[in-house]
Structures are given as structure tokens and as C-alpha cells.
Amino acid sequence: MTGSNLPVVIVGAGHAGGRCAERLRHFGWQGKIILVGDEPCLPYERPPLSKAVLVEEVEPSPSFVIDPEMLAALDIEHVAGQVVRSIDLRNRTVRLADERHLGYCKLVLATGLTPRRLPMLDVLGSRVCYLHKLEEARTLRSAIRPGAKLLIVGAGFIGLEVAASARKLGAEVTVIETAPRPLGRVLPARMADLVTERHTNAGVKILCNEAMDEIVQTPERISITLRSGETIHPDLVLVGIGGLPNDQLARSAGLQVDNGIEVDDRCRTSDPDVYAIGDAASHRNPHYGGRWRLESWMNAEEMASNAARAICDQPRNGASVPYFWTDQFDRRYQIAGLLEPQAEIYEQGVAGESGYLACFVVGGKLRGLFGIDAGKAFRKAQNLFRGGAVATRDELRAAGFLAARETADA
């Protein structure tokens, strides 16, 4: 199918939604495309929000997925500042907040996620912020200055990226984390410690096994008492404790939902005319089994492309190994596959330094990669996944990898 009298309607004008609209044209869709988003601007990439948007001397322009010229050239209708209230699967329509109804031949849900909130911090008003949208990044940018005291709740990727950016700007940064170590959900202990060390060396104060017990606010200052009894006085609090998939719209319509909108290998939901992509979609990964809901730049790109291929009756791309990266201070940390605690680790380079690369091997099979500014070496190792190769210990040693004495969680 390359066209219809009814449009393809894409709900969600973020990275995944914008890329899907562009890919539909690339793969030959000749019919109408309507892109509906709740933000006033065109689709943009979110990774710069915690980095470049905060630290550049002059605020950079958004990294648009589709800029105004492309929007016109591709003949994509952009409905900005509108929320979709409901989906009628039987009649193939969506209802907008302004009560307009849009018919569709195919519907793509790219609804993204919503940051988890901490209601106990609501009393702080404008002194607490979350980071998911461009306007939130601009608010944070205006507050971070030399000597400002920033408290970050949550030591995941977003929290640590903002911590690095704020330290670059001269702010005093404290990070609190309820878990025993930062990045505990995504990195084994040895790798998490490498990232943590870079932060502590740069002056970031990281407090683990910690939480907030009491919050007192006066016009002059904030006082937050921690579980340990320590009291801190931040000027601003940033919450970065993950997000929840925006799957309520799909659930209300009767689509299959379980920690995200469930899709098959063509991004189709339980209704064959409805697709879901990006942060809100849950899909099976043939490399590792089970359902995965990935929140990453690469996942947004790949699912957007695969949905567009399916709608245009094009063959799908092969399933890739999950890939993430995070830029903190002068380091880029790269992750591919699963970094399993029980894995044997084969290393190349100096741990914690640029060029370091670690291969995670379980049962003689390569299962994951971790690199620090590893560049070409990381991409070369990724090809072992793409080719379906099983890296033996002898092959890794021949490639210059040495076995680490410890396992990943030692």
C-alpha cells in the first residue's frame, strides 16, 4: 500500500513520530500524513536537552527531526499543541481536545513517556523541575549558574548527564539515589563505579542509599532533610527517576497494553491498522527474549523506520541489538546488548579511560559491550552481534582482549 483516501495519522510529534512521518515519504507513501503533537514546535531530538541546551554559551537551535522546509517539501500536515483524547477503532477515527475528529487508514501511536513525579516536592513550586521537553530544559538552563546549588534526585542517565552539565557551568551539585549505586538498573557494579568515579573527581557529591524525609520551604531557602539526618539547602531540585509510558490512550481504546503498548515485529498492535513506536511501545527482542520497552534515540529511529516500512509494504529491517550512549563530562559511554552480572568480562584498554572496551560473555557467547570513547573498536565489536557470530574466548584474546579477574558484579 502506498496511498489511500484516508490519511496516516501519527499521534505524538516527538522524535519517533517525526521520523516515522519522514520515513513514510521515503518508502513511497503517497497519501496524506497528519502528525499530531501536544507541543507547539516541530519534532526534535531529546538527547541535547540534558547537555548542549544547558551548557552552550548561546542556546542552540533544537535538533529538529523535521524542519519547516522539510515539512513543506514532504507535504506533511502538522497539528501542533493538540492532545488526542480518544481512539475509535471501529470507525477508525481519533478525537482531538478541540473536538475535531480525524479519520485514518493507518494510525501510529508515538505517544512517548511522562517523567515520574515526586508529589512530596510539589510544595516547591517553580523550585522543582523535570526534564523531558524543550521548555523544561530552557527553565533549567536559566537557573544553573556558577555557585548555584542543585539537588538531583535520581542517579540514572538523565540525572548524571545534568550533573555533568551543571558542574561544567560551575554549579554545586548533589545527587541522591535510593539504590546502593548510580546507574544500578543499566550497568553492573564495575562499570557503574567507573562512571561514578568520573563524577566524584569532578566535584559532584553522590549520596546512595539515600532519600528525602522532610522538606521545609521559606521565601529565603529550601531545607531538605535526608534519611541519614543530613540537611541540604538547594536553590533548585531536579527529579530524574525515570518515566512511565503514555499508554492510557491505547488502553482506553482496548489495545493490548502491559508496561507499554504491545507490538509485533512490524510494530503492529493488537489492531492490525494501529502501530506503536518509540518509548511507549513494548516489543519482543529475538536476541534476548522477552518484551522490551526501550527509551533511546536508536530505538526511536528503528521503530519509526520499521513502522513506515510495514505501512508501505516494504520488508522490515532485521532486529538489532539494543544500543545506548550517554555523554557525561568529556566521556561518551556506550552500551550494546545485555551487561549481565554473571558474565565473564574481556577487556581492552585502561578501565575508565578513553578507548576502554569490555565484552560481556555468557556461556561462551558475546552478550554485551561497554565502551568509553571506544569509537571504531566499539563499532567493530558490534558487528559480531549483527553477523550472529559467537565470540569465543580464544577469538577475544586474539583480538587483544584480556580476561578480567572479576565478574561484572564483583
Whole-number pLDDT of residue 286:
79
Query: Could you give the angle at the alpha carbon of 359 between the alpha carbons of 339 and 208, nearest 5°?
Result: 40
At 193 the pLDDT is 95
Percentage with pLDDT > 70 across the chain: 96
The rounded distance, in Å, linking the Cα atoms of 187 and 111 is: 27
- 251 pLDDT more than 60: yes
Question: Does 235 lie in the same domain as 121?
Answer: yes
Q: What is the mean pLDDT of residues 323-337?
A: 95
Residue-level pLDDT at 180: 95
Count of the separate structural domains present in the chain: 3
Predicted local distance difference test score (pLDDT) of residue 397: 78
Angle at 354 between CA 175 and CA 193, to 5 degrees: 35
8 Å CB contact between 266 and 310: yes
User: Is there a domain that residue 409 lies in?
Assistant: no
Same domain for 102 and 18: yes
Selected residue with higher pLDDT from 384 and 120:
120
**Which domain does 296 fall in, by range?**
8-113+244-311
246-263 burial by CB neighbour count: b if 16+ within 10 A, else e? Answer: bbebbeebebebeebbbb
CA distance 117 to 127: 14
Beta strands 402-403; 344-348: pairing state? antiparallel
Average pLDDT over residues 44-61: 93
What is the CATH number for 28? 3.50.50.60
pLDDT band of residue 407 (cuts 50, 70, 90) is: very low
At residue 401, the pLDDT reads 82
Tens of pLDDT along 344-400? 899 999 999 999 999 998 887 888 999 999 988 898 888 877 655 566 777 777 777
Last residue within a domain, chosen from 199, 220, 239: 239
46 and 62 in a single domain? The answer is yes
Same-domain check for residues 134 and 234: yes
Q: Is residue 387 part of a domain?
A: yes
Is residue 318 a part of any domain in this protein?
no
Q: What pLDDT was estimated at residue 403? A: 79
